[in-house]
Amino acid sequence: MQIPIKWHERFAGALIERQVIGESGAEVFRIRCDGGEELFLKSEPTGLPSELAGEVERLRWMKRLDVPGRAVPGDATEDGRHWLLMTAVPGLDLANANDLSSPQIVGMLAMALRILHEVPIAVCPFEHRLEEHIAAAKNRVNVGLIDEADFDNERQGQTATDVLADLLSTLPETYDLVVIHGDACLPNFMANGSNFTGFIDCGR
């Protein structure tokens, strides 16, 4: 892996392991430094539909609000790729927190989402309203970026156009605006024992 030049010396003796969980298209690496420090390095090609530059902004904004998550020691753009260096969040993600019962996981997930929902939208500089998501979905369908083989069982055999039409037929007439995670699945919520420790994968 060719990491940005400015980090070559810092990570010369580190163990760097590729992470395989997740479907964002980004490459993620765990860096175990000689002194025991653990960091994560995320990389995506520049250009659309890259979300990494936006994730840098969101993580730094969350840190200013004391929303639990990763800190950003650095970022870079080099050789046609964005790079994001992040601290580790203690514990395990909720998909792998085998010591927690299902009610504990549900309760922790609800509590974590409430942390975000209670952030006043007036202080959130990021726009991800429903209309923008619908426009992005239409664009991805139109340019052929949808993997129809990856649909859930209910939608197997349908085309991306079919699924989009179903989505458009069920849009809510009204909805509340809140700060959200954007990919609120169990692997993106961290816990150390029974304590929620932070959000990861915050590009949306």
Domain boundaries, the chain: 5-89
Catalytic, 201? Answer no
Among the ranges given (46-50, 59-63, 66-70, 130-134), the one the predictor scored with the smallest mean pLDDT: 46-50
CATH node for 5-89: 3.30.200.20
Q: Check residue 113 and give its pLDDT.
A: 97
Q: Check residue 142 and give its pLDDT.
A: 95
CB 85 within 8 A of CB 74: yes
Indicate if the alpha-carbon torsion angle 134, 82, 144, 185 is positive or negative: negative
Q: What is the CB-side half-sphere exposure of residue 165 using CA atoms within 13 A? A: 6
pLDDT tops 60 at residue 31 = yes
Residue 128 — pLDDT band, cuts 50, 70, 90? confident
Residue 24 — pLDDT band, cuts 50, 70, 90? low
What residues contact residue 58 under an 8 Å CB cut-off, 6+ apart? 126, 202, 203
Residue 36 — pLDDT band, cuts 50, 70, 90? confident
Q: What is the pLDDT of residues 105-126, one digit of tens each?
A: 999 999 999 999 999 999 999 9
Catalytic residue among 66, 176, 183, 201: 183
Q: Check residue 21 and give its pLDDT.
A: 65
Residue 2 — pLDDT band, cuts 50, 70, 90? confident
Q: What does pLDDT average to over the chain?
A: 92
**Residue 112: strand, helix, or coil:** helix
pLDDT tops 90 at residue 1 = no
